[in-house]
Amino acid sequence: MTIAAPRSPFDANDTQGLLFPAGPDAQHFPRTRYQGSKRKLTGVILNHLRSLTYDSVLDAFGGTGSIAYAFKCIGKRVTYNDVLAFNEQIGLALIENDSVRLANDDVESVVTAQPGRSYGCVIERRFGGIYFTDAENRWLDVAVANIRAIDCRFKRAIAWFALIQAALAKRPYNLFHRANLYMRTADVPRSFGNKASWDRSFEDHFRAFVRAANAGIVDGGEKGGCRAVCFDALDVPGEFDLVYIDPPYINQNGVGVDYRDFYHFLEGMQNYDAWAGMIDARSKHKRLLRRPDPWSNAAESASAFERLFARFRKSTLVVSYRSDGTPSLSELEAMLRKIKRNVRLIEGERYQYALSTKRATREALLIATD
């Protein structure tokens, strides 16, 4: 395949094929809505790594899996990691899974209550009036139990993928950060089209996302060996030729993205039996009790970077970053120069994230090799 030369180091709007130097397969990566997804940048990022020699890759903060998937599509042995359990399911479905798809009868077994199966009511009882309607909450309680009953772990993961994406598609801002069901239900004039997506049934969304996931299953090739794990990035076992690092973003005012907080409902579904005991009862929107993470804390993130770079110092280190992050780009560059002989900083055009209302900042990539 011929790949055109980039027009700028980070041309996020290029649709001429540059976005997908990972080959035609990479275009099948399902479209999702997630904070900080690099889906639109995968081609650009991979282009910058083309001169490097590597086989095994760790995507240490995998999120949607967009980057892990692109590496898989160019035949790399990828380990997808994310600290959140719901994301691990996405990694299992799209990265570790080479061939299993969810069949029509599997889909029916999720969307309909099964005779003889007992169903919990955690969502109906705890989340009334917060995110979804009562009928939708009951549907979710049934779907969660049905998914947990699927034997094959890859099929189960595809079903989780579809349920997670359905829940995100039906949420204002695609987040669970506020008790704002009223935004959906209020009878007011609207100048935007999200309401149709919010009101589309869970079942319809679920079926559509199963189709998207099934179409996105790619074979990792003869080498195989792609996998998905769920660790704190510092604790991922093993050694890798290249480690891709795309941690939560902390802006220059020190405000970070706490993914567990934004997506607590999805994490709760993964821990259904223990969920009620994990909820911070004082919060109006029933988030999970907080668990400190240095990657979303401005006072601790620099030392977390230092520890991560030290842990994987034998690997080529590739960091996705933003021009106005905390710690600053130059601080990160200096940290890498202490342990690596060659450090390349690529700064791109101004780029505004799909879900961001903030002023556009520049995307950046740091590539550190021996």
Ligand X SMILES: C[S@@+](CC[C@H](N)C(=O)[O-])C[C@H]1O[C@@H](n2cnc3c(N)ncnc32)[C@H](O)[C@@H]1O
- Residues at the site binding ligand X, with contacts judged by CB under 6 A: 34, 36-38, 61, 63-64, 66-67, 81-84, 87, 232-233, 246-248, 259, 293, 295
Cα angle for residues 239, 240, 242 (degrees, 5° grid): 150
How far is the CA of 255 from the CAs of 263, 299, 317, 326, 357, in angstroms? 17, 10, 25, 9, 14
Task: Report the C-alpha dihedral over residues 118, 121, 123, 124, rounded to 10 degrees.
Answer: 130
Q: To the nearest whole angstrom, how small is the minimum distance from the Cβ of residue 32 to ligand X?
A: 8
Residue closer to ligand X, measured from CB, 248 or 348: 248
Minimum distance from CB of 230 to ligand X (Å)?
8
Closest contact distance (angstroms) between CB of 235 and ligand X is: 8
* Residue placing its CB nearer to ligand X in the complex, 181 or 266: 266
Question: Which one, 155 or 322, has the nearer CB to ligand X?
Answer: 322
Taking the least distance from each CB to ligand X, the nearer of 81 and 109 is 81
The distance of closest approach from Cβ of residue 96 to ligand X in the complex, given in angstroms and rounded to an integer, is 16
- Compare residues 61 and 202 and give the one whose CB is closer to ligand X: 61
Q: Which is nearer to ligand X, 90 or 181 (CB)?
A: 90
* Residue (58 or 111) nearer to ligand X, CB: 58
Q: Please, what is the minimum distance in Å from the beta carbon of residue 287 to ligand X?
A: 15
Q: Pick between residue 104 and residue 357 the one whose CB is nearest to ligand X.
A: 357
Closest to ligand X by CB, 81 vs 97, is 81
> Shortest Cβ distance from residue 295 to ligand X (Å)?
4
Alpha-carbon distance 34 to 96, whole Å? 20
244: β partners: 59, 318
Nearest residue by C-beta to ligand X? 63
Task: Supply the minimum distance, in Å, between the C-beta of residue 114 and ligand X.
Answer: 32
CA distances for 346 relative to 11, 59, 320, angstroms? 12, 19, 10
Residue type, 268: G
How near is the Cβ of 109 to ligand X at its closest, in Å? 29
CB of 82 to ligand X, least distance (A): 5
